[in-house]
Amino acid sequence: MRILGISAFYHDSAAALIENGEIIAAAQEERFTRKKHDPGFPANAVKFCLEYSGTTLSQLDAIVFYDKPLLKFERLLETYYAFVPRGLSSFITAIPVWLKEKMFLKRLLLEELEKIEPFDRSKARLLFPEHHLSHAASAFYPSPFEEAAILTIDGVGEWATASICHGKGKDISILKELKFPHSLGLLYSAFTYFLGFKVNSGEYKLMGLAPYGVPGSEQVKKYVDIIKTRLVDIKDDGSVWLNQEFFNYATGLTMVQEDKWEKLFGFKARKPEDELQPHHCNLGLAIQEITEEAVLLMAREAKRLTQADYLCMAGGVALNCVANGKVYNARIFKDIFIQPAAGDAGGALGAAQAAYHIYFEKERVKPSALDGMKGSYLGPEYSDADVQRVVKKYGAVCKHFYNSNDLCKEVANRLSEGNVVGWMQGRMEFGPRALGGRSILGDPRNKDMQKKLNVKIKFRESFRPFAPSVLAEECGQYFEHDSASPYMLLVQPVSMQRRKPLPDGYHSFPLKEKLYHLRSDMPAITHIDFSARIQTVHAETNPRYYELVQEFKKLTGYGVIVNTSFNVRGEPIICTPEDAYRCFMRTEMDYLVVGNFVFEKKQQPAWQEKDNWKEEFTLD
């Protein structure tokens, strides 16, 4: 039985294909179109899934969309009615799009699919599970757990903004839902907007900014008090009530009532490229602490309702890996599993799985490795011939390695010398994290590595932290964490023995002084609060990447390397060998490794491209 799942028309469009319950292929549309968070119909992702699985549209048993559009339209109309006369301009903008396209989504989907290949539309079985059920399915069914509580939190689906479910065997029961306009995800996005970052894109920047605030300071306490007394009421079960007098997302074209927020917090909304000030950092810390509090309360409520030993998480808020770490450390559950594509892209996968297990009532397939996600390496892969075509096109100079061990030794040596290496191997990752398939790598011991990667490679804000990839069995030697974290979705502290003491008056230092203070023997991956976003590397799911980290350890004594996504700011993660070479030549990367080929920057021909190429990507 083959089922195609699709998410589209909001942000992070994607497609996924499962066969008899096994995940065969999944990819986001942005990787093919090079438009970050592409919301359009995922034609390229669908083509890839069909081609990789050797399937035609006519052979599919079902095509499943990740939410119910008519229910979402109902919410839209009822919301505008409830807030009359507010929202007229938003209503005028939104309704024509719905009447022209989204109201007739079944027809639109079939028309778009027919452009890919001819098939008998009358025989197509189209299914529409609810948005949060798709999220819940994406988390529970690939997990290694037979039974688990399921917590989904995002901005909004149709009506639900968060849900608690109980998964057992092939069944998922929805136990509790939080309804729009009250939403933890939209609350966090409102602060993302006010602090100058892009909604549905920059939330992870806000999470990275928060540790630059001063914990326990009077300003942070003040902001927490303002938020809790004026903006949000957090209930004992983690549900939130948002004071709509201060928000604009329900019926407006912006997230917040800016004039009211400016009076509340005493400063104007930050513009995207404005320099970050201490009050920005402290407000970021305040909303992060409040988010963690709500997520922890929801997790405790999920435990109370299900009495399950394990927890599964999905939805955009599940990408807040700092909050995830707090849930893990609270030991409410024995273990947790977080869907690596936790946002809307993962809804495509969850929709297909919900159809298979709930609609068709098929039993689950026991995963052969850590879980059913196969390390999240579910996208396209490329051959030596594909790389050679790029070499010919650009007149590139490279060295071909015939032995994996020789290749990994060479790359480990270059990393140990302080070089930055673009690394493209095997299948592309599904989800927002680069996991050693499409990564930029560096030496974590190098005190200048974070600055070099941010400023000269990624062209992004200097405060942004980088993640470590660590040999799974050695994680405890470097971090205060005792289990797998293969998808870079848990933030945990760096081990005490690796930390360096803070100087007197440290918390009063300017942001940049804090940033470049050496906090551990792995400065490139130790965030300002001594934390790190951990990826454990497993031989079962990515043997070549595992081998590379092993070789780096043999040279340096450290079984950990810096891993950041292979892209520049505003660009989607690379997909093809040509994407990789182009990004390599546009930046100050020192080496590029694609499959079995190694490119050294000094040996490449001059890059013939205009200086304004950065305008190609909208800043995120």
Residue 370 belongs to a domain: no
Residue 373 belongs to a domain: no
pLDDT digits (tens, 9 = 90+) for 584-603: 999 999 999 999 999 999 99
pLDDT band at residue 370 under the 50/70/90 scheme: confident
Q: Are residues 457 and 591 in the same domain?
A: yes
Q: Are residues 127 and 162 in the same domain?
A: no
- CATH code of residue 413: 3.90.870.20
Q: Are residues 184 and 261 in the same domain?
A: yes
Answer with the residue of higher pLDDT: 343 or 505. 343
Q: Are residues 132 and 239 in the same domain?
A: no
Q: Which residue has the tokens 């065969």?
A: 24
Q: Are residues 475 and 415 in the same domain?
A: yes
Instruction: Please report the pLDDT score of residue 619 as a whole number.
Output: 58
Q: Are residues 426 and 549 in the same domain?
A: yes
Q: Are residues 425 and 514 in the same domain?
A: yes
Is the pLDDT assigned to residue 311 strictly greater than 60? yes
- CATH code of residue 40: 3.30.420.40
Count other Cβ atoms within 10 Å, centred on residue 570: 18
What are the counts of helices (DSSP H) followed by strands (DSSP E) for the chain? Answer: 20, 21
CA distances from 513 to 454, 460, 505, 519, 525 (A): 16, 18, 11, 12, 17
Of the residues 303, 338, 373, which one is the last residue of a structural domain? 338
Tell me if the pTM is above 0.85: yes
Query: Could you tell me if 316 and 132 are in contact, meaning their C-beta atoms sit under 8 angstroms apart?
Result: no
Residue 471 belongs to a domain: yes
In the chain, the number of structural domains is 3
Q: Are residues 13 and 90 in the same domain?
A: yes
Q: Are residues 469 and 551 in the same domain?
A: yes
Q: Are residues 350 and 430 in the same domain?
A: no
Answer with the residue of higher pLDDT: 91 or 295. 295
Q: How far apart are CA 138 and CA 404, in angstroms?
A: 34
Instruction: Please report the pLDDT score of residue 90 as a whole number.
Output: 67
Is the link from the previous residue into 181 a cis peptide, with omega within 30 of 0?
yes
Is the pLDDT assigned to residue 368 strictly greater than 80? no
Residue 159 belongs to a domain: yes
Structural domain that includes position 561: 384-616
Is the pLDDT assigned to residue 613 strictly greater than 60? no
pLDDT digits (tens, 9 = 90+) for 142-190: 999 999 999 999 999 999 999 999 999 999 999 999 999 999 999 999 9
Closest CA to 144 of 364, 398, 466, 332: 364
pLDDT digits (tens, 9 = 90+) for 25-40: 999 999 999 999 999 9
Residue 458 belongs to a domain: yes
Residue 379 belongs to a domain: no
